[in-house]
Structure 1
Amino acid sequence: MHAVTEAVDGRAEPGTPEPVAPVPGASVGRWRRLAGPGALLSYLALAVLVLLQLWRDPNGRVLSANDDDHGVFLFMIAHGERVVFHGADLLVSDRLNAPAGVNMMANTSVLALSLPAAPVTHLLGAGVSVALLLTLGLAGTAAAWYWLFTRLVRGRLAAWLGGLWCGFAPAMVSHANGHVNFVCQFVVPFIVWQVLRLREPGRVVRGGLALALLITVQAFINEETLLFTALALGVFALAYAVQRRREAVAVWRRFVAGLGVAAAAAGALLAYPLWHQFFGAGSYHGQPFPPDQYVTDLLSLGAYARQSLAGNAALARAVSVSATEENTFFGVPMLIMLGVMVVMLWRSAAARATALAGAVLLVMSLGPQLRVAGHDTGIPLPFGLISHVPILDLVSVTRFAMVSATLVGVLIALAADRIRDYPHRRRVAFWAGLAVALVPVLPKPLPIVGADPLPPFLTQGTWRQYVSADRTLVPVPLPEVTHGRAGMRWAALSGLEFAVPGGYFMGPADPPSDETGSWHAPPRASTVLLDWVREYGIRPVLTPVDRRAARTDLSFWRADAVVLVPGSDKADLLAATLTDLLGRSPQRIGGVQVWDVRDLAVAPPG
């Protein structure tokens, strides 16, 4: 492949494609220990180190920087187990947001991960599967890029460094705080490889079908990553074609034909799931936040992330939207080295196209207007022109920078390979500069907190005496994005054997009048009342209207039991309010207070 040859040597001119000639001894010598299995084991060891504190008790701890999304993926993984072992609906879950359920395609359901992990979930619990997928996600992504780089460069050290960055860049470690979908990017390098190979003769059908299968798998891991990959490859291909017009003219027909085969085959495989996602029950339109809320701060490029060795939590907090969205944070030395590497590789059209793709996606991540040090400057940026384009309006804007972060790894691999051809003194300077750039961004173990243990009411199965198979258990506070997540965790770690109302998920805000995306279930009178008690710490004076509304809500939820989550904020006030609202005192059993409401929720009152 000519583009690959050019990327390696930096000197190729347009002409007949030539295979990459391996350099004698390139994969042996002092770096032999990093080749093959050694490289993969080094990635796995680092991934285990990053998740080490979670591994000490996967079902009893949560990642402290993002316990809410950790809870979401406990539920997603538990859904996969329920599909495999209980025959549950693949694309809809009735275990959350009862009775409406959750559109799993409209959420980050990671079905391509949760289904294979179902045996682990079934035997060891959803917490173990989440820890396993986060660990294998980091290591597997690094290994997959290493595999690709061994086909693009001559030296195994260069491939190992590129894989190291792509798997453990600050963006990846940041998202390892619970974002299973973004950490598991190991399909992406294979998509890139298949796209590059479509230009080869005889690969229109075979390559197109292989690409379609990879696209389908990635769609069931994370569609945002698939969109980012498509955008980056599109910019790369266009930039490369402009620079190498003669070569582009020679191959464009089979390249486009291969893409057509891939689009048609993937479209056929994904037609129904995508229809269900965008038009099925529980679908929504747009995000619950404006496009300028979560954008990349310009100063974050030169800062260090919280979980980097040189990270400063206060500084990182000032220039990031959250601990899980530190999508740049390269550090000043790496920015300098990026400039050096681009100069080194400038004669390569492939490297220039890679750098341009990274720059374009980085600018997109800055959002509609420039933000510096947490302040919006009012300076308009190009993304403002496309922020309301369908599909793009569903993306958290700062995540476009994850592509730029990955492409830094590509440039590292190419430059580390190119430096082999330089004089000794320049090689020493390059490796010293790269060490200064890489060491400060190496990851630290992610912080965790102990989660409240499941009460005996659940672990001993006592709940079955109160909740029938087709009815629900109502935890108070009801789970949603900002509080009450213990009830959602209860359901996930209990194998989703019972359904709960509410939850932290994406769905329509208040259908059918408002189908804008929301992070929680449409409000009910009882949830508004109980949230008010929790928020303000005041016991309300209840009226017959409040009690009738509570009975209506219990009937809507098909509730059999209301359970107060032990240790909840304002627990005593919530218990007193529930007793007044339901007209009965709770039973204390299995470590919880339970209100048996089977007689109240038979049917809506007349």
Structure 2
Amino acid sequence: MTAAEISALSEVDTATDTGVATDTGVATDIGAGSPLAAPVAAPVRNTATWRKRWLVAAGILAMFCALSVALFWNGWTALGSRVYGGGDAILFSWYLAWTPYAISHGLDPFVTHFLNAPDGVNIMWSTGVPLLGVVAAPITVLAGPLVAFQVLTTLAPALSGWVMFLVMRRWTAAFPAAVAGLLYGFSPYIIGASYGHLHLSFALFPPILVLLLDDLLIRQRTVTRTGGLLGAAVAAQALISEEVLATSAVVAVIGIAILCMGHRDQVRPRAAAAVRGLAVCAVVATVLLAWPLYIQFFGPQRVHGSIQPSDIAVSDLLTFATPTPLQALGPDVAVRESLRFSGNAVEVSGYVGLPLLALLAFIAVRLRRNPLVAVCAPLFAVVAVLSLGPHLHVGGRGTRIPLPWRLLELGPVLHNALPSRLSLYLALAASVMIALWLDQARPPRLRAATGVVAAAALVPLVPATPITFSTATPRFFTGPQVDNLPAAATALVVPYPYPQQNIAMLWQAQADFRFAMPGCYCTVPDRFGRSSFHPETDPLNSALIAVATGQSTAAAALRQPGLAATFDRYHLNTIILGPSDHHDELVTLLTGLAGAPGRYVDGVDLWLLDSAPGRS
């Protein structure tokens, strides 16, 4: 393969007024303009053409936002009281509130002692999305964390798809790029991640990585600047999701290996510049991430070991052809079959559909000489195999057949990644291939035919309307009464916060962190330093959970050995009991612990205890 042929990877269309690419794409200087702005082919920029391109881009963004608002409309009709994802939505709403609070109060945004009191939590081990917390801070401060969560949840598919559109404009006309953005931004992966996994649904980084790697490896102009931009993008992604950053790196390495195998004669002449750019990337990312990574690996409450169990959240062999509850048009029998697959239903996001699989196979053959297709087609196949996890699962049943992911999860970082989430990169590769195929259709009749075929292949992926979960916050936490708590108070808030019931975390955030509290749904170390999603069981939290879930009575819990001693160890200033199942039994239990009855204040039962030492 010659240098001229490989340069086709960086060809860019000259868009006509009809939005159809011409056949005269040429490599252009990436040194001018934003990396997301597709450069024009002409030596001199045409201002009118650029203005029109960005007007089209603005229109596509508006369309994607409208689609996303329609999809998440149920959350907008009851803004601040409905969420997507239940407990995970509460978790991320807490994070969105914590970041601006910590920064405005001069606290470390990566460590908190307001949860899991008195030990605290290392936020960097708990998907704390600090960058999104900063970006959404004005909304959080003005309207509260639940509204900020709803806004970001709605923006995630639209912005992810729009960035994909902008990236594909480098190689295709507007319409094919818009189809790529639609497929990527509203893919089963991103819709599934919208159920509370804010760190996963904001998937802007993978398309940007494609763009910057094209600049670095193929165009190789202004390599230092490209390396700096890549380093900044890496740092930004690390402050949203380290898992997506790690899996993006794995997929990028695979893609680069495929590229090198197809263009062996170009590896050596391009290696020096590529290494120089990657070195700049490493320096920039290291500088930007020095503080948070130091806290993560050397700070308090750090953990070790796997956060997620292995061989559970994987793609079943039938996943790719079996619709799930995430699809609007899936036959009931097929959807019921998908519910047998291992892992959480929203993590089963590798559905592609038989029509699209057939179309991708056709494109892989039809456009096999296209350099991008020559990379994306085998990349799709390799990533699909990796998403199957360490052992093959068929029809919901695990087998002992080992698969390549088994080797990858032995290394650092990746043992905490979930293979099923690699479906993000299936959507990415499929989007690129579909866009290139649509773009190569030149005669109007052929364009119409390819459009119809593409639509038929994509219809099975139309997402179902996500299900909302209602929340309720007693007025005590948002009204003036919460300010009567002692300064630096430590409160026992019931229902006790743990993974299955963490509403108390939302109440704390809505009270503007007036108090610290025991318990949490977050990643904390156990007594051996291994990761856990909740503090270790003790007589107090086990009694509170048992009574709240109806597994024990207050009388039986009060007889539990060590209960009173554990209660005293927390040095509590107050007890707050909000709405809960088995409320009367909890009142009896808490009254026994406090030694006196509480009083009802603005929707909660409140016990103000004798003065206790505040937290350090």
What letter is aligned with 2:586? L
Superposed, 1:362-511 pairs within 5 Å as 362-420=384-442, 424=445, 427=447, 429-452=449-472, 454-465=473-484, 467-483=485-501, 485-508=502-525, 510-511=526-527
Contact 2:489–2:614 under 8 Å retained in 1: no
> Using the alignment, how far apart are the partners of 1:39 and 1:15 within structure 2?
29
Pick one of 591, 594, 598 that aligns with 1:579: 591
Contact 1:287–1:518 under 8 Å retained in 2: no
Indicate the larger mover: 531-540 or 331-340: 531-540
| Aligned CA distance change for structure 1 residues 92 and 326 (closer, same or farther; 3 Å) | same
> Using the alignment, how far apart are the partners of 1:18 and 1:394 within structure 2?
35
What letter is aligned with 1:529? A
| Aligned CA distance change for structure 1 residues 244 and 446 (closer, same or farther; 3 Å) | same
> Using the alignment, how far apart are the partners of 1:197 and 1:603 within structure 2?
55
> Using the alignment, how far apart are the partners of 2:488 and 2:248 within structure 1?
42
> Using the alignment, how far apart are the partners of 1:93 and 1:18 within structure 2?
46
Superposed, 1:559-570 pairs within 5 Å as 559-566=572-579, 568-570=580-582
> Using the alignment, how far apart are the partners of 1:201 and 1:374 within structure 2?
46
CA-to-aligned-CA distance 1:487-529 (integer Å, 9 cap, x gap): 1111122222322211111121x23xx2221111222220112
RMSD between aligned alpha carbons? 2.7
Q: CA deviation at 1:543?
A: 9.0
**Equivalent position SS for 1:329:** coil
Partner of 1:41 in structure 2?
Answer: 62
CA-to-aligned-CA distance 1:219-249 (integer Å, 9 cap, x gap): 1111111112211111111111111111222
> Using the alignment, how far apart are the partners of 2:286 and 2:378 within structure 1?
29
Superposed, 1:119-130 pairs within 5 Å as 119-130=138-149
> Using the alignment, how far apart are the partners of 2:256 and 2:224 within structure 1?
20
Contact 2:489–2:516 under 8 Å retained in 1: yes
Q: CA deviation at 1:157?
A: 0.8
Contact 1:370–1:381 under 8 Å retained in 2: yes
TM-score under structure 1 normalisation?
0.89
What letter is aligned with 2:455? A
What letter is aligned with 2:207? P
What letter is aligned with 1:562? I
Indicate the larger mover: 367-376 or 384-393: 384-393
Q: Which runs of 5+ in 2 are unaligned?
A: 22-51
What letter is aligned with 2:466? L
**How many matched pairs?**
580
What letter is aligned with 1:80? T
Contact 2:220–2:274 under 8 Å retained in 1: no
Superposed, 1:147-162 pairs within 5 Å as 147-153=166-172, 155-162=173-180
> Using the alignment, how far apart are the partners of 1:15 and 1:572 within structure 2?
73
**Equivalent position SS for 2:380:** helix
1:521 aligns with 2:539: no
Contact 2:313–2:348 under 8 Å retained in 1: no
CA-to-aligned-CA distance 1:551-601 (integer Å, 9 cap, x gap): 443442x421112221x22222222222233332222222222222235x5
Contact 1:127–1:493 under 8 Å retained in 2: no
> Using the alignment, how far apart are the partners of 2:8 and 2:605 within structure 1?
77
> Using the alignment, how far apart are the partners of 1:410 and 1:300 within structure 2?
21
> Using the alignment, how far apart are the partners of 1:21 and 1:309 within structure 2?
35
Contact 1:537–1:570 under 8 Å retained in 2: no
Partner of 2:608 in structure 1?
Answer: 596
What letter is aligned with 2:60? A
Partner of 1:176 in structure 2?
Answer: 194
**Equivalent position SS for 2:401:** strand
Q: CA deviation at 1:368?
A: 1.2
Contact 1:486–1:565 under 8 Å retained in 2: no
> Using the alignment, how far apart are the partners of 1:389 and 1:461 within structure 2?
51
What letter is aligned with 1:502? G
> Using the alignment, how far apart are the partners of 1:176 and 1:305 within structure 2?
15
What letter is aligned with 2:576? V
Contact 1:27–1:35 under 8 Å retained in 2: no
Partner of 2:243 in structure 1?
Answer: 224
Partner of 2:31 in structure 1?
Answer: none
Indicate the larger mover: 143-152 or 402-411: 402-411
Indicate the larger mover: 410-419 or 281-290: 281-290
> Using the alignment, how far apart are the partners of 1:57 and 1:88 within structure 2?
33
Partner of 2:37 in structure 1?
Answer: none
Superposed, 1:133-152 pairs within 5 Å as 133-152=152-171
Q: CA deviation at 1:343?
A: 1.5
Partner of 2:349 in structure 1?
Answer: 327
Pick one of 550, 556, 580 that aligns with 2:564: 550
> Using the alignment, how far apart are the partners of 1:16 and 1:397 within structure 2?
33
Partner of 1:106 in structure 2?
Answer: 125
> Using the alignment, how far apart are the partners of 1:289 and 1:183 within structure 2?
19
> Using the alignment, how far apart are the partners of 1:81 and 1:48 within structure 2?
26
1:74 aligns with 2:93: yes
**Equivalent position SS for 1:398:** helix
**Equivalent position SS for 1:462:** helix
Partner of 1:52 in structure 2?
Answer: 73
Superposed, 1:241-252 pairs within 5 Å as 241-252=260-271
| Aligned CA distance change for structure 1 residues 303 and 201 (closer, same or farther; 3 Å) | closer
| Aligned CA distance change for structure 1 residues 255 and 81 (closer, same or farther; 3 Å) | same
Partner of 1:352 in structure 2?
Answer: 374
What letter is aligned with 1:507? V
Q: CA deviation at 1:602?
A: 5.0
Contact 1:43–1:142 under 8 Å retained in 2: yes
1:163 aligns with 2:174: no
> Using the alignment, how far apart are the partners of 1:316 and 1:163 within structure 2?
26
**Equivalent position SS for 1:371:** strand
> Using the alignment, how far apart are the partners of 1:462 and 1:17 within structure 2?
63
Contact 2:117–2:519 under 8 Å retained in 1: yes
| Aligned CA distance change for structure 1 residues 529 and 15 (closer, same or farther; 3 Å) | closer
**Equivalent position SS for 1:284:** coil
Partner of 1:27 in structure 2?
Answer: 19
Indicate the larger mover: 590-599 or 388-397: 590-599
Q: Which runs of 5+ in 1 are unaligned?
A: 4-11
**Equivalent position SS for 2:573:** strand
**Equivalent position SS for 1:523:** coil
> Using the alignment, how far apart are the partners of 2:53 and 2:277 within structure 1?
37
| Aligned CA distance change for structure 1 residues 554 and 195 (closer, same or farther; 3 Å) | farther
| Aligned CA distance change for structure 1 residues 603 and 143 (closer, same or farther; 3 Å) | closer
Q: CA deviation at 1:542?
A: 5.8
Partner of 2:326 in structure 1?
Answer: 307
> Using the alignment, how far apart are the partners of 1:108 and 1:26 within structure 2?
44
> Using the alignment, how far apart are the partners of 2:499 and 2:601 within structure 1?
28
Contact 1:538–1:573 under 8 Å retained in 2: no
Contact 2:313–2:418 under 8 Å retained in 1: yes
Pick one of 530, 554, 566 that aligns with 2:544: 530
Q: CA deviation at 1:15?
A: 7.2
> Using the alignment, how far apart are the partners of 2:428 and 2:293 within structure 1?
27
Contact 1:97–1:500 under 8 Å retained in 2: yes
> Using the alignment, how far apart are the partners of 1:401 and 1:550 within structure 2?
49
TM-score under structure 2 normalisation?
0.88
> Using the alignment, how far apart are the partners of 1:477 and 1:16 within structure 2?
60
**Equivalent position SS for 2:576:** strand
Contact 1:83–1:89 under 8 Å retained in 2: yes
Pick one of 183, 203, 206 that aligns with 1:185: 203
What letter is aligned with 2:405? F
